[in-house]
Amino acid sequence: MNEIIRFAWGISALGDFLVAISDKGIVAVEFNADHAAMENALQARFPDAVVEHSHDGLAELATTVAGVIDDPAAACDLPLDLRGTAYELKVWQMLREIPPGQTTTYGALAARLGTRDARDVTQAIANNAVAVIVPCHRVIKKDGSISGYRWGVGRKRALLAREQVSQAH
């Protein structure tokens, strides 16, 4: 029996996003205005699954995720079904431990994992399919600058700025 991945589109202050869920939890939250391309990418990510659009069935979830995107400092206890290598899962857990309004560096995460080479950490972060909920936007370069972000540097800046404002109140 094939796994079923259901998805819906949502709209946030940072643009259109897709949220996809298995029967265990969220497997993807990705920004993309090109719905057809994103749906094709979702099917490619889960080639053995039946991928179904479920706007009505996931409307409440899409609204909740939009709220998390619009206020990334808000607590989020949505169930996740994170899929990656053991190393990626470890990096993603470390990302979830970074408090809202704070940042760390790629090198600092690498050091916590016992290596000086941040390239593996950078690749694990790039493979994160659950935008904002697994807060890869909280990782910056060691000089404090904002580097590339899978969903655009503008979104990364906006997310960090929103967390700073939220934490100031």
Task: Find tokens 């390239």 and name the residue.
Answer: 119
Sheet with 4-12, edge to edge strand ranges: 26-31, 15-21, 4-12, 50-53
Buried b (16+ CB within 10 A) or exposed e, 113-136: beeeebebbbebbebbbbbbbbbb
Q: Kindly tell me the burial class for residue 160, based on how many C-beta atoms sit within 10 Å of its own C-beta (0-12, 13-18, 19 or more).
A: buried
Structure-token pair, residue 102: 């704070």
Q: Is 136 a catalytic residue?
A: yes
Q: Which helix (H) or strand (E) holds 96?
A: helix 86-96
Phi/psi of residue 152, each to 5°? 100, 135
Catalytically annotated residue among 5, 51, 132, 136: 136
Active site residues: 136
